Amino acid sequence: MRKNHQPGRSNVLSNNAMVATSQPLSSQEALNILKMGGNAVDAAIAASAVLSVVEPGSTGIGGDCFAIIKMDSKKAISVNGSGISPYKANLDFFKKNYIDKIDLLSPHSVTVPGAVDAWYEMHKKFGKLEFKQLFLTAEYYAREGFPVHEIEAYHWKQNEEKLLKNKITKDVFLINNKAPKYATKFKNIKLANTLKLIGENGSKSFYQGDLAKDMIQSLNNLGGLHTEEDFYNQNTIFTDTIISDYKNYNIHQCPPNGPGIVVHLMMKLLEKFNWKDIDCLDPKRFHIQAEVTKICFELKETILGDPNFSDFNVDSLLKENVIEKLYNKINLDKVYDTKNAHVTSHPETVYLTVVDENLNAVSFINSICHAFGSGICSENTGVLFQNRGVNFRLEEGHPNCIEPNKRPLHTIIPGMLTNMNDEITMSYGVMGGQYQPIGQSHLLQNIFEFGMSMQAGLDLPRAFALNGKLKIEKTFSESAIKELTKIGHDIEISESTIGGGQGIMIDRKEGILIGGSDPRKDGLAIGY
């Protein structure tokens, strides 16, 4: 039981179905869809559509998504809805134009939005309700206005300067050149019209015709290389998940170009330590976590990219000799000196999960990369574009080097656990850009190593080793900071919280669902 004399949340329990998203309006919509007879896939798409309206700083139909879906007791399926680069975006172009790094606000940072195609294809394979039903509430909030919640208002204000840089973006996402305030209503009528067309006509209306032409023209006006053919060529990839065993469970992740393999590597390394005498908030725990992070990120940034452009075998990374070699790099008394692992970091993204009455489950994540993406908005559609292309390298021969119609190495990863009978046990995810593999391993350890509930596991303080710093939340004790500094960590107390998260566990013995939603976001777990 949680310490109820301290601020916090209880776990949410239900008998039949449950949703957990990063925003109450989204959670409510998912629940409504379930009660209308929709399944987990229907509810997840509808929830994500609402989030695309009410959390424009974190997600949108101009972004990407990944999902893990387990339906009708069949095996879990990975859904890759990440966007491709323009065909003209080759390394020679950047060399000729003396561009050695893709700028966060450049049209070259914009990959083709993948989310809408993924939603449509997921629905075509697994959905139950009519596709247009899944967009009605999102359209309503965009057209009639939605109340801006507290954390979203804070991030909106933080990004005013960015939104002012582009006239179209400024006109759509600011009011008199200011971010909308907390507890005020905000509308995006252009986006409402776009959502209506998508709902009525499917993804074809987004990737072909007037909507696509407007988006392409808006990018081309700024120097973008995008063509109608690029939008036409966007496709969603359905594959098996990549799986590793952990404490009599199977961890499911999406294959590359997502970094789900990093979760597997981290858990294999963390399992090699004896945690019986280590407290969940022990500095030693966070030191080990930091070292594992640095070692796995170094590997990730060296060898991972779009598998369609490489013959790299992911399974080879999980062999015991590889794990042992990585483990031997960890020293309990000093920090690891990372090489070639400098990455861009961003805190934005939305994660949601749904479990329906038939125990179908969806683990789902949608993002526009950095806060408000590229800051570029299409003139007539209300679509704000992601800037996922900043994750490409401009290094010849690198597996993540930009190439025509290639997907960049990603950050967003949904997670899922099944038992040894291949029954869904837990659907979960942690937001926060590059933090996500660390957040997932942190949550899994909290629950299965330290005996925490879902909500307590999400609540616990976090740290993130990145680019030579160990970022920690303000809830860390002074003694922990001193101990970590003594070992050699360069401590940075983060002004913002680290990540977010949602999760649902299935207690098959009692026949109940147990959900949690991260207090670092505006979110809500709810069931019936």
pLDDT tens-digit series, residues 34-78 = 999 999 999 999 999 999 999 999 999 999 999 999 999 899 999
Nearest to 68 by CA among 416, 435, 310, 301: 416
Is the pLDDT at 498 greater than 70? The verdict is yes
CA dist 74 and 241 (Å) reads 12
Check residue 347 and give its pLDDT: 62
3-state SS string for 318-367: HCHHHHHHHHCCCCCCCCCCCCCCCCCCCCCCEEEEEECCCCCEEEEEEE
3-state SS string for 110-130: CCCCCHHHHHHHHHHHHCCCC
CA dist 460 and 472 (Å) reads 12
Residue whose tokens read 């959502």: 195
3-state SS string for 445-513: HHHHCCCCCHHHHHHCCCEEEECCEEEECCCCCHHHHHHHHHHCCCEEECCCCCCEEEEEEEECCCCEE
pLDDT in tens, 146-172: 999 999 999 999 999 999 999 999 999
Residues annotated as catalytic (active site), given as ranges: 349
Confidence of residue 341 (pLDDT cuts 50, 70, 90): low
Confidence of residue 4 (pLDDT cuts 50, 70, 90): low
Check residue 138 and give its pLDDT: 98
CA dist 188 and 357 (Å) reads 34
85-89, 194-198, 518-522: least confident range: 518-522
Check residue 337 and give its pLDDT: 86
pLDDT in tens, 227-286: 999 999 999 999 999 999 999 999 999 999 999 999 999 999 999 999 999 999 999 999
Domains of the chain (ranges, CATH numbers): 241-346+413-527 (3.60.20.40)
Check residue 342 and give its pLDDT: 60
Confidence of residue 338 (pLDDT cuts 50, 70, 90): confident
Is the pLDDT at 463 greater than 70? The verdict is yes
pLDDT in tens, 114-149: 999 999 999 999 999 999 999 999 999 999 999 999
